[in-house]
A and B are shown apart, each in its own frame.
Chain A
Amino acid sequence: MVPKLKIKNLCVKVEDRQILTGVNLEVNGGEIHAIMGPNGTGKSTLAAALMGHPNYEVISGNVLLDDEELLEMSVDERSRAGLFLAMQYPSEVSGVTNSDFIRSAIAARQQGQAPSLFSFISTLENTMELLNIDKSFAHRYLNEGFSGGEKKRNEILQMMMLKPKIAILDEIDSGLDIDALKIVAKSVNQMYSKEIGFIIITHYQRLLNYIKPHFVHVFMQGKIVKSGDYRLALKLEEKGYDWIKKELGIEDETVGQKV
């Protein structure tokens, strides 16, 4: 079955500030959606709220993943239902090795049954090789002492190992040099199929040179204000965001008005 994520009129606040003001988006397997927009317009909030980040509170709206209400699920249930978020700032966890963590995460998808060590390690090592990650990473503590680029590649490694239905990449390109960026793009392209839909959140069009999105959405004031195809990204690269603000009569594109 082709996975389907349907976000309907999603409104989210943090403490007493409303960030998302009504997001509507539908993502199907086999589609790559890019969400672009200036800083502070709520892009990362959308990612965090979908995953169930404890600091974000949904005020209204609903989100269906394969016709199941995502917002009623706990964080881990969302993950097991097929949602994945590659985080902008992944936590460091001392004392837990990367490979133990990933193996536990796979086990969580198989009723607690851990994959056989042999097949797990060979898959892990192959995937790490593809991502140009040193073998020693498997035995290092989760993200501890990793550089920014290493953390980002580690997020992609987890995504490839967990095979989600809907993957959200939150500014996966920030802090990556061009070679790392190409590796990440290659991995996403390799994963691409009807079985998975992508939401790629980015400031820059640069990543989209390597991953070609089917849809591009512009975020302002906590919602999608304009959508288009790949050519919209090129136009943004060329002209910036001001023309959209002008077109839509937006003066301040940021979010965070008190509610």
Chain B
Amino acid sequence: MGLVDLDFKKVLERYHDEPSWLSNSRLFSLENLSKFELPKLEKTTIATWNFKDFDFLSNKNFSFHKEQDFLNNKSDLLKNDFLQVNGRTISKNSTFGKGVILEDFLVSCSNYSELVKEYFEQFAITNKLAALHSSFLNGGVFLYVPKNVEIKEPVSVLFFFKGQKVAFSPRILIVVEENSKVDFVCKFYSEEENLFNNGVVQLFLKENARATFTSLNMFPKNTIDVISSCSYLSNKSELDFYLTNLSQGQVIFKNEVYLTGDYSKANIDALTFGTFQHEGNFTTAVYHEKRNTKSNINARAVVKEEARTVLNSITHIKKGAKQSDGKQKSKVLMVSKQARGDANPILLIDENDVIAGHAASVGKLDPMQLFYLMSRGLTQRVAEKLLIFGFIQEVFSKIKIEGIKSNILDYIDKLI
């Protein structure tokens, strides 16, 4: 049985004007959708998640005759360099110059076909969610930073979703060429329930490139939020990945970083906060493939109410990756009695001459700390809040983008 009721013709008609490599990818994914299995996740069973009852083709029909009203009410959304609502690009900043491209992903597939194709095809379709994404790819952004270009101000992109029972499959492709530098901010946001976001992020850092990738997902309860991210780092390139996921529904975040060049370096700081019936599975995996590569994973999860969160951290130092250094730390804080959390540290070392270390913990709010804070007059709510903010501080304080920081604090404040 297929995951969705398909009408191949409908899909291909919808996207008939695309380059053939893209339609071929859709076709391949569609044809094999039923053969692929759902991804197997450590300690989270997603077989019971309802991926079915969504309209995967609705977005282009979405009525935007009230677009102006919508934007008038949410004018601050336009402060982003790039705004996409339900896969439709509303505004974009095209004043970067120096050959920088910031463009709607599907437009880029046509306009920069050869450039995009090369990277697009490196995303492997290995499971049902990836196949779903590739079949119904309907939004996203392409950022291209040519050689020797430094973009000083952060480039911020917002994907805003609205509607009922609709599914979205955005692709975010970022290519930073040699000696270039960019700070990228990527937000996924919806205020409405009954949505399915199935996004893919691809990040390519060429020799000596520097990038920060700050992502923030905020979906309410009764949503599915899936992001699969793959980053490839060439020689001497450096990536700082700040991932914050505050989605309250069912969440899969798979973040893979491949250190494919000597002296490449990745820092990954992950922060999640789940409440209600949130079910989250967050995996960060770093693959050290070359010499003198360095990685550091630092993950924090807070679980409240009946939320369940699993943090998987994988550091894999492969044969030949001599003098590499891979560290990871993951911590889960359970704020309510029913909340459950898991931290799974995994170190795979195939090389001798390396440094590796891991730490993991799962704990509850400390009653002695609570007593201490309350003995100074703080209400239980404020005391808990301080302890929660204290718990996430080590990761939170590394986020450099002030706007994102206040978004995160406000949202967590609301959830507490």
Contact = CB atoms under 8 A, between A and B. Distances in A.
A binds B: yes
A138 to B, nearest CB: 16
Interface residues of B, number: 24
A75 B382 contact: no
A91 B369 contact: yes
B389 interface: yes
Given A91-B366, A93-B369, A95-B394, A75 B386 contact: no
B371 interface: yes
B380 A76 contact: yes
A76 B389 contact: no
B361 to A, nearest CB: 12
Which of B367, B375, B380 is the most central at the interface, judged by chain A CB atoms within 10 Å of its CB?
A: B375
B391 interface: yes
A54 interface: yes
A80 B378 CA distance: 9
A79 B375 contact: yes
Nearest to A96: B390
A94 B386 CA distance: 10
A167 B335 CA distance: 31
Interface in A193-248: none
Contact of B378 (A53, A78, A95, A105): A105
A56 B223 CA distance: 44
B373 interface: yes
B117 to A, nearest CB: 46
Closest 9 CB pairs of A and B: A95-B390, A95-B393, A79-B377, A105-B376, A91-B372, A108-B377, A75-B374, A96-B390, A76-B374
Interface string A127-142: 0000000000000010
A96 B380 contact: no
A156 interface: no
A83 to B, nearest CB: 8
Given A93-B369, A101-B386, A162 B376 contact: yes
Contacts of A102: 376
A85 to B, nearest CB: 6
Nearest to A158: B376
A91 B377 contact: no
A185 to B, nearest CB: 22
A87 B372 contact: yes
B386 A74 contact: no
B371 A54 contact: yes
B390 A76 contact: no
A162 B372 contact: no
Given A79-B377, A94-B393, A162-B377, A108 B372 contact: no
Nearest to B383: A76
Nearest to A86: B375
B392 interface: yes
Contacts of A145: none
B124 interface: no
Given A87-B375, A91-B372, A94-B391, 14 more contacts: A52-B375, A54-B367, A76-B380, A78-B375, A85-B375, A94-B390, A95-B389, A95-B394, A96-B390, A101-B376, A104-B386, A105-B378, A108-B376, A141-B390
A90 interface: yes
**Highest count of chain B CB atoms <10 Å: which of A54, A78, A100, A104:** A104
Contacts of B377: 76, 79-80, 105, 108-109, 162
Interface string B295-328: 0000000000000000000000000000000000
Interface in A92-148: 93-96, 100-102, 104-105, 108-109, 141
A143 B122 CA distance: 50
Contacts of A184: none
B78 interface: no
- In this complex, which of B366, B386, B391, B392 has the most chain A Cβ atoms within 10 angstroms of its Cβ? B386
Contacts of B389: 95-96
A196 B383 CA distance: 26
A74 B374 CA distance: 9
A65 interface: no
B28 to A, nearest CB: 48
Interface string B79-101: 00000000000000000000000
B206 to A, nearest CB: 37
Contacts of B391: 94-95
Given A93-B372, A93-B373, A95-B394, A76 B379 contact: yes
A111 B355 CA distance: 52
16 contacts: A51-B371, A52-B375, A53-B371, A54-B367, A75-B371, A76-B377, A79-B377, A91-B373, A95-B390, A96-B389, A101-B386, A104-B378, A104-B382, A104-B386, A105-B376, A108-B382
Contacts of A90: 372
Nearest to B396: A95
A101 B374 CA distance: 11
A63 to B, nearest CB: 15
A95 B387 CA distance: 8
B331 to A, nearest CB: 11
A146 B387 CA distance: 18
A120 B328 CA distance: 39
Contacts of A75: 371, 374-375
Contacts of B382: 104, 108
A104 to B, nearest CB: 6
A23 B380 CA distance: 29
B1 interface: no
A168 B386 CA distance: 25
A95 B389 CA distance: 7
Scoring A53, A78, A105, A141 by chain B CB atoms within 10 A of each residue's CB, the highest score goes to A105
Interface string A179-198: 00000000000000000000
A101 B373 contact: yes
Contacts of B373: 91, 93, 101
Interface string B334-374: 00000000000000000000000000000000111101111
B387 A76 contact: no
